[in-house]
Structure 1
Amino acid sequence: PGAGPAGHNSDGKFIARAQRIEYDCELVPRRVAIFIEKTKDGQILPVPNVVVRDVACGANHTLVLDSQKRVFSWGFGGYGRLGHAEQKDEMVPRLVKLFDFPGRGAAQIYAGYTCSFAVSETGGLFFWGATNTSRESTMYPKAVQDLCGWKIRSLACGKSSIIVAADESTISWGPSPTFGELGYGDHKPKSSTAAQEVKTLDGIYTEQVAMGYAHSLVIARDETDAEKEKLRKLP
């Protein structure tokens, strides 16, 4: 309901009684029937042969990655989180044009509260939307220069914070207010608008990351005696 994150070409609104609008919810799974692209002149074209490989959901928007490495987005368009260079809501899945070129497809997708991420098939990390809604939004996918050259294994989003497992490091960032989810340690700044390595996890190989509204979890490798010893030394 609302901005159409279910992808059924409806915002679910109906008039329950005078001066009262309510929303229909989908109580059982319902197939998303159509995927589209929009041309520069506004023409709407169906996109055939979409085989879904991954789905990611934000607060009011949804991303899909298909077997041809294309990305589709729909739902609430505020802060540019859909990546279509406009803030218009989309009621059905719409193709994100940047990833629809040879050699520029996406390999992974992630949805934050008001933002989206994709890792390209060449390993680059792209971002659109906003993590700090009081600052300028990114209206279409742009490369995250701070992580250029890093090999990303896993990424997770909280309300406004991000955590990444890449190469031999764990990296995080997020604007204030934060509540320790960035992992920088006691007596350290709790927030950062730029990506920083989590020094409290130095020497620990993070296999996977997860993030809730304001907390983080990591799965760390413990295959060798040295790795087990480093983990034992953690608080």
Structure 2
Amino acid sequence: MESAGEAARALFAWGANSYGQLGLGHKEDVLLPQTLKDFSCKHQNIKSITGGGGHSAIITGAGELFVCGQNKEGQLGLNHTDDVLCLTLCPVLSSLCVIQVACGWDFTIILTRNGQVLSCGSNSFGQLGVPQTSGGSLIPLKIESLTEKVVNVAAGLRHALAATEGGMVFQWGTGMASRANRVSHGKMIPAFLTAKEPCKVTGLEDVKVKSVTASSYHSVSLTDDGELYVWGSNKHGQLVSKEAFLLEPQKIDAHFFSDEKIGAVWSGWTHIVAQTGGSCFSWGWNEHGMCGDGTEENVYAPKPITALGSAKPFLIGCGAGHSMVLYQTPG
């Protein structure tokens, strides 16, 4: 979730804290927001906050990466495997300017200002994209095969994505492969679903992608023209298709969004939220009401979140089973 800026002077955290992922210095769950007293925004202009299976990461305006939480697989990039209870600077990246971080279940993908991508943590499914190591890594390793400048990255449960300056999308990590095999019925499975290093996603040759997002078992890309392409598991209707699994990207028709262009998109574990010029749409798994339509029934096509009224959303975040929207009321 991006920070709007310099006015913020305190960082709060709450929820599950089994590994110290809240950065509060202990491992007790927290039911009400608490301030991180040891990490004051007064001195650190926070640009982004994100979380993974049990770890958290923050990027400052200076391009520094601070991490905390679960570190069993080295996903914090600190060259050890001890859990970290307070936000700690990742010193290995001190000479680089980090502009984006994506946290998977037990791994981390890091994008620098010069367009390089690094990764650390578990590599059990090839999700680090670094064939030079068969195991995981305790420090961020550069993904050498991504030779074109990368502008956006995403991390799913056990796979990762990168969008390049030229509009191409690369995927790696085999986390989606088993589901693809079960539903392929003898069809050829695209190489990018079984790749352990970045592999070009086929089916996007005629579009220019500007951003990507990933979930547990599906992927989403947003083009310069404001169109959404999706692929992977459709178990909960999150891909707006009759197919159980989409082996290659498929465009979601614009009429689902009232023919408006999509400005940004976010993905939870099994649901998606998209933002147009003045509306929020959500669809997919809805057991906990994360689609915001007042029910707990799955939503099989993009549906406006009418409860927001005429409010204009400008910042959205999705978790495994929840959604958050920051918006500006009219007037």
Does the alignment reach a TM-score above 0.5? Answer: yes
TM-score (norm 1): 0.73
- Contact 1:155–1:210, Cα closer than 8 Å, also in 2: no
Match of 1:191 among 298, 310, 331: 298
Q: Give the CA deviation at 1:99.
A: 3.0
1:157/1:139 Cα in 2 relative to 1: closer, same or farther (>3 Å)? same
Q: Do structure 1's residue 137 and structure 2's residue 245 form an aligned pair?
A: yes
Q: Do structure 1's residue 27 and structure 2's residue 138 form an aligned pair?
A: yes
Match of 1:64 among 155, 158, 162: 162
- Contact 1:70–1:106, Cα closer than 8 Å, also in 2: yes
1:196/1:91 Cα in 2 relative to 1: closer, same or farther (>3 Å)? same
**CA deviation digits over 1:44-78, x for unaligned, max 9?**
xxxxx411111111101110011111111110142
1:133/1:149 Cα in 2 relative to 1: closer, same or farther (>3 Å)? closer
Q: Give the CA deviation at 1:209.
A: 1.3
Match of 2:210 among 87, 91, 107: 107
For 2:140, what is the secondary structure of its paired residue?
coil
Matches within 5 A, 1:90-105: 90-101=195-206, 104-105=207-208
- Contact 1:125–1:147, Cα closer than 8 Å, also in 2: no
Structure 2 counterpart of 1:160, one-letter code:
T
1:53 is matched with: 151
1:204 is matched with: 311
Structure 2 counterpart of 1:93, one-letter code:
P
Q: Give the CA deviation at 1:100.
A: 3.6
Structure 2 counterpart of 1:153, one-letter code:
G
- Contact 1:4–1:11, Cα closer than 8 Å, also in 2: no
Q: Give the CA deviation at 1:154.
A: 2.1
**CA deviation digits over 1:129-186, x for unaligned, max 9?**
114179610110110123473221221111111111112211111135x20211112x
Q: Do structure 1's residue 161 and structure 2's residue 271 form an aligned pair?
A: yes
For 2:307, what is the secondary structure of its paired residue?
helix
Match of 1:149 among 248, 259, 263: 259
For 2:172, what is the secondary structure of its paired residue?
strand
Structure 1 counterpart of 2:158, one-letter code:
N
2: CA distance between counterparts of 1:215 and 1:159? 9
- Contact 1:184–1:190, Cα closer than 8 Å, also in 2: no
1: CA distance between counterparts of 2:142 and 2:203? 26
How many residues are paired up?
192
2: CA distance between counterparts of 1:91 and 1:192? 33
1: CA distance between counterparts of 2:310 and 2:323? 18
1: CA distance between counterparts of 2:190 and 2:215? 18
2: CA distance between counterparts of 1:201 and 1:166? 13
1:74 is matched with: 172
Matches within 5 A, 1:108-123: 108-123=211-226
Instruction: Flag the structure with more relative contact order, 1 or 2, with Cα contacts below 8 A and sequence separation at least 6.
Output: 1
Which segments of 5 or more consecutive residues in structure 1 lack a partner in the other structure?
13-23, 36-48, 226-235
TM-score (norm 2): 0.53
1:9 is matched with: 131
